[in-house]
C-alpha cells in the first residue's frame, strides 16, 4: 500500500480529539503545560521521544522528534498553544468549551493556533506509527506565549535550547486556506513568506495631579493625549505594494466585485505604485488596507487609578504593523510628525525585532503547490505578506527558512466580521478542519518522502 493512503486510513479522528482537548484548556494567561501533558502522553505511547520544557512555572513548550534517515536536514513543525484573552468580549458560547453550531466549531484558539497544533500532532503521530523513516528528522514544537511576543516560547527556545529546534525548514502559522463565500471549496492557498514588523509605542502626557474637584484650567493631560490620538487615528502612512503583495491584490481583484475589484486590479498593475484613486477605495477595506501600508492603532488607554484623582500621567499604547521595507525609526518619526506636540512623549514598548522574509519559489513552495493541486485541483497558490506577526521572525533571524501555512480553512467574510483570530466567537467550519490536516499531511509528505 502506498504510504500516503496508509496514513490517510489510519488518520482517524486524532486531530479532532486533540483539538477539542487543547481548546478545553484556557491558555490565555499561561497554563500551556496543562494543555500539553495529554499530547506528550500520546507521543510517549507512540514511542516518540518527547519533552516539555518550561520557561517558567506552567509555561510549557513541547518538543518531540521523529527520527529520519538524515538524507536531508530537519523539518520543524511549529504551532503555539497559548491564545489571546477573552475578557471584555461578548461570546455566544463558553470560549473554552468547544461548541458546534450551524456547521462551525466555536472556541478561543480554534483558528489561532490550536487547529494547526492538533493537525501537527495527528500528522506526526501517523508518521511515527507508520514505521517509515522520513528523509529528514521531523521536529514538533508546540509552544507558549506567542501572543505576548514569544518570550515564554519560541524566543526562549531560540535563546536556551536552539539545538532542539534547529532545522533547515520550518512550517508555522501565518498562511491561509481561504474558502469561497459559500464555503464550498478552497479558493486560495496563501503561503506566508514575509510578515509585518510588530512595534508598540507608548504615548504619554503628564499633568500635576491632585483632586478632581479642582481640575486644571490650563493643561489637562487627558485632553493633550486625546488630541494626539485623534491625529494618530487620522494619519495614513503612504501606500505602496510590495512584490508579494502585488499577487495578493491581483487575486483579490478576481474575488471582489465593483469598484473595489477595479481598484485592486489597477493597484496590482501599477505596483509598487498605488494611485491615489485606488488607494481611496482600497483604504476603506480593513483587510486590503493593511496590505498596502503600515498601520498604527490605539489599543490601550490608562489614566488615573480612581475617578476622583487627577492623573499625573495619561498613557496610550499605539500598536503599529510596519511593512517589511520600512523601519521602526521611520515610523516613530512619522508618528511624532503627525502628533506635532512636544508635550506628548513617544517611547517604545518591547522590541521584538523585524519580521523578515523567506525566499519565494523554494522547495516549500513546491511542496505546498503539489499538496494543494493533489487535494483541490487547480486552486490558486500565492506567496503572501502577512499583516500580523508570528514567531517565524525569531527563526528567520537565526537563518531558518520559515514559512506560514494554515490548516484551518475559513472565509474572508469571517475574517472581516471578526469571527477569526482574536475575535469574539472565533470559529471555523467543522467539515473543513480534517481537510486542513490532509493539507499538512500532504505538505509534510512532499518534504519528507
Ligand atoms: Zn497565532
pLDDT, tens only, 102-151: 999 999 999 999 999 999 999 999 999 999 999 999 999 999 999 999 99
Of 262-271, 307-316, 352-361, the one with minimum mean pLDDT is: 352-361
Confidence band, pLDDT 50/70/90 cuts, at residue 5: very low
Backbone angles phi, psi at 80, to 5 degrees: -100, 145
The reported pLDDT for the residue numbered 217 is 93
As a whole number of angstroms, the distance between CA 264 and CA 250 comes to 7
Cα 36 to ligand 1 centre (Å): 17
Cα 343 to ligand 1 centre (Å): 36
As a whole number of angstroms, the distance between CA 165 and CA 77 comes to 9
Nearest of 43, 119, 89 to residue 409 by alpha carbon:
119
Cα 200 to ligand 1 centre (Å): 18
Cα 300 to ligand 1 centre (Å): 20
Cα 125 to ligand 1 centre (Å): 22
Please give the biggest Cα pair distance in the chain: 83
Confidence band, pLDDT 50/70/90 cuts, at residue 7: very low
Cα 276 to ligand 1 centre (Å): 33
Nearest of 198, 203, 210, 197 to residue 224 by alpha carbon:
203
Cα 292 to ligand 1 centre (Å): 22
CATH label, 3-195+356-448, candidates 3.20.20.220, 3.40.630.10, 3.90.1150.10, 3.40.50.620 = 3.40.630.10
Cα 108 to ligand 1 centre (Å): 11
As a whole number of angstroms, the distance between CA 372 and CA 434 comes to 14
The reported pLDDT for the residue numbered 13 is 60
| 3-state SS string for the chain | CCHHHHHHHHHCCHHHHHHHHHHCCCCECECHHHHHHHHHHHHHHCCCCEEEEECCCCCEEEEEEECCCCCCCCEEEEEECCCCCCCCCCCCCCCCCCEEECCEEECCCCCCCHHHHHHHHHHHHHHHHHCCCCCCCEEEEEECCHHHCCCCCHHHHHHHCHHHHCCCEEEECCCEEEECCCCCCEEEEEEEEEECEEEEEEEEEECCCEECCCCCCCCCHHHHHHHHHHHHHHCCCCCECCHHHHHHHHHHHHHCCHHHHHHHHHHHHHCCECCHHHHHHHCCCHHHHHHHCCEEEEEEEECCCCCCEECCEEEEEEEEEECCCCCHHHHHHHHHHHHCCCCEEEEEEEECCCCCECCCCCHHHHHHHHHHHHHHCCCEEEEEEECCCCCHHHHHHCCCEEEECCCCCEEHHHHHCCCCCCCCCCEEEHHHHHHHHHHHHHHHHHHHC
Q: Where in the chain is the domain with CATH 3.40.630.10?
A: 3-195+356-448
Cα 154 to ligand 1 centre (Å): 12
As a whole number of angstroms, the distance between CA 335 and CA 329 comes to 10
pLDDT in tens, 43-63: 999 999 999 999 999 999 999
Cα 273 to ligand 1 centre (Å): 31
- What residues have CB less than 8 Å from 356, skipping those under 6 apart? 194, 195, 324, 392, 393, 396, 397
Cα 321 to ligand 1 centre (Å): 15
The structure's pTM equals 0.86
Cα 23 to ligand 1 centre (Å): 14
Cα 146 to ligand 1 centre (Å): 7
Cα 277 to ligand 1 centre (Å): 34
What is the average per-residue pLDDT within 72-99? 97
Radius of gyration of the chain (CA): 23
As a whole number of angstroms, the distance between CA 414 and CA 98 comes to 18
Confidence band, pLDDT 50/70/90 cuts, at residue 76: very high
The reported pLDDT for the residue numbered 355 is 72
pLDDT in tens, 368-388: 999 999 999 999 999 999 998
Cα 394 to ligand 1 centre (Å): 14
Cα 390 to ligand 1 centre (Å): 7
Cα 367 to ligand 1 centre (Å): 22
196, with CB counted inside 10 A (0-12, 13-18, 19+), is buried
Cα 262 to ligand 1 centre (Å): 32
Q: Residue 256 in contact with residue 281, Cβ under 8 Å?
A: no
Q: Residue 55 in contact with residue 158, Cβ under 8 Å?
A: no
Cα 401 to ligand 1 centre (Å): 18
Residue % of the chain over a pLDDT of 90: 89
Residue 4 has pLDDT above 60, yes or no: no
Confidence band, pLDDT 50/70/90 cuts, at residue 15: confident
**126-159 burial by CB neighbour count: b if 16+ within 10 A, else e?**
bbbbeebebebbbbbbbbbbbbebbbbbbbbbbe
The reported pLDDT for the residue numbered 183 is 93
Q: Where in the chain is the domain with CATH 3.30.70.360?
A: 199-348
Q: Residue 258 in contact with residue 281, Cβ under 8 Å?
A: no
Cα 113 to ligand 1 centre (Å): 5
Cα 82 to ligand 1 centre (Å): 8
Cα 173 to ligand 1 centre (Å): 6
What is the average per-residue pLDDT within 207-212? 96
pLDDT in tens, 384-440: 999 989 999 999 999 999 999 999 999 988 888 888 888 999 999 999 999 999 999
Cα 436 to ligand 1 centre (Å): 16
**CATH class of domain segment(s) 199-348:** alpha beta
Cα 96 to ligand 1 centre (Å): 17
**365-392 burial by CB neighbour count: b if 16+ within 10 A, else e?**
bebbbbbbeebbeebbbbbbbbbbbbbb
C-alpha cell of residue 39? 499530547
C-alpha cell of residue 42? 500520546
Cα 437 to ligand 1 centre (Å): 17
Q: Residue 125 in contact with residue 43, Cβ under 8 Å?
A: yes
C-alpha cell of residue 219? 493643561
Neighbours of 104 (CB within 10 A): 21
What is the average per-residue pLDDT within 213-221? 95
Cα 107 to ligand 1 centre (Å): 14
What is the average per-residue pLDDT within 191-212? 96
Cα 231 to ligand 1 centre (Å): 30
Cα 256 to ligand 1 centre (Å): 26
Cα 86 to ligand 1 centre (Å): 15
Amino acid at each position: 500500500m502506498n504510504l500516503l493512503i496508509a496514513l490517510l486510513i489510519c488518520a482517524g479522528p486524532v486531530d479532532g480529539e486533540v483539538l477539542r482537548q487543547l481548546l478545553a484548556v484556557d491558555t490565555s494567561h499561561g497554563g500551556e503545560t496543562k494543555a500539553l501533558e495529554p499530547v506528550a502522553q500520546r507521543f510517549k505511547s507512540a514511542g516518540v521521544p518527547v519533552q516539555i520544557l518550561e520557561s517558567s512555572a506552567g509555561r510549557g513548550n513541547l518538543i518531540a522528534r521523529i527520527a529520519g534517515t538524515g538524507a536531508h536536514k530537519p523539518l520543524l513543525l511549529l504551532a503555539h498553544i497559548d491564545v489571546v484573552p477573552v475578557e471584555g468580549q461578548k461570546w455566544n458560547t463558553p470560549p473554552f468549551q468547544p461548541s458546534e453550531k450551524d456547521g462551525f466549531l466555536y472556541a478561543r484558539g480554534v483558528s489561532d493556533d490550536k487547529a494547526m497544533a492538533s493537525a501537527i500532532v495527528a500528522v506526526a503521530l501517523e508518521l511515527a506509527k507508520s514505521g517509515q523513516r522520513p528523509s529528514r528528522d521531523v521536529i514538533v514544537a508546540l509552544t507558549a506565549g506567542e501572543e505576548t511576543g514569544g518570550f515564554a516560547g519560541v524566543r526562549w527556545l531560540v535563546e536556551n535550547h536552539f539545538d532542539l529546534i534547529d532545522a533547515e525548514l520550518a512550517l508555522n502559522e501565518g498562511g491561509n486556506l481561504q474558502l469561497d463565500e459559500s464555503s464550498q471549496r478552497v479558493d486560495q492557498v496563501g503561503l506566508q513568506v514575509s510578515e509585518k514588523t510588530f512595534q508598540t509605542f507608548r504615548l504619554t502626557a503628564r499633568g500635576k495631579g491632585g483632586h478632581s474637584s479642582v481640575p486644571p484650567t490650563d493643561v489637562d493631560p487627558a485632553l493633550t493625549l486625546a488630541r494626539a490620538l485623534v491625529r494618530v487615528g487620522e494619519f495614513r502612512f503612504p501606500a505602496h505594494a510590495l512584490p508579494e503583495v502585488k499577487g495578493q491584490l491581483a487575486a483579490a481583484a478576481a474575488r471582489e466585485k465593483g469598484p473595489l475589484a477595479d481598484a485592486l486590479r489597477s493597484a496590482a498593475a501599477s505596483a509598487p505604485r498605488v494611485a491615489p484613486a485606488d488607494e481611496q477605495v482600497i483604504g476603506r477595506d480593513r483587510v486590503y488596507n493593511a496590505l498596502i501600508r503600515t498601520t498604527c492603532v490605539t489599543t490601550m488607554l490608562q489614566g488615573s487609578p480612581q475617578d476622583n484623582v487627577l492623573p499625573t500621567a495619561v498613557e496610550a499604547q499605539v500598536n503599529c504593523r510596519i511593512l517589511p521595507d520600512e523601519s521602526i525609526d521611520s515610523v516613530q518619526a512619522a508618528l511624532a510628525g503627525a502628533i506635532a506636540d512636544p508635550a506628548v512623549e513617544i517611547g517604545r514598548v518591547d522590541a521584538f525585532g523585524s519580521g523578515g522574509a523567506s525566499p519565494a519559489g523554494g522547495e516549500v513552495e513546491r511542496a505546498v503547490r503539489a499538496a494543494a493541486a493533489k487535494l483541490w485541483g487547480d486552486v490558486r497558490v500565492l506567496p503572501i505578506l502577512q499583516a500580523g506577526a508570528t514567531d517565524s521572525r525569531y527563526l528567520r533571524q537565526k537563518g531558518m527558512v520559515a514559512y506560514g501555512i494554515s490548516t484551518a480553512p475559513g472565509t474572508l467574510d469571517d475574517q472581516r466580521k471578526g469571527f477569526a483570530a482574536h475575535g469574539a466567537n472565533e470559529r471555523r467550519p467543522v467539515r473543513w478542519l480534517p481537510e486542513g490536516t490532509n493539507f499538512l499531511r500532504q505538505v509534510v509528505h512532499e518534504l519528507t518522502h
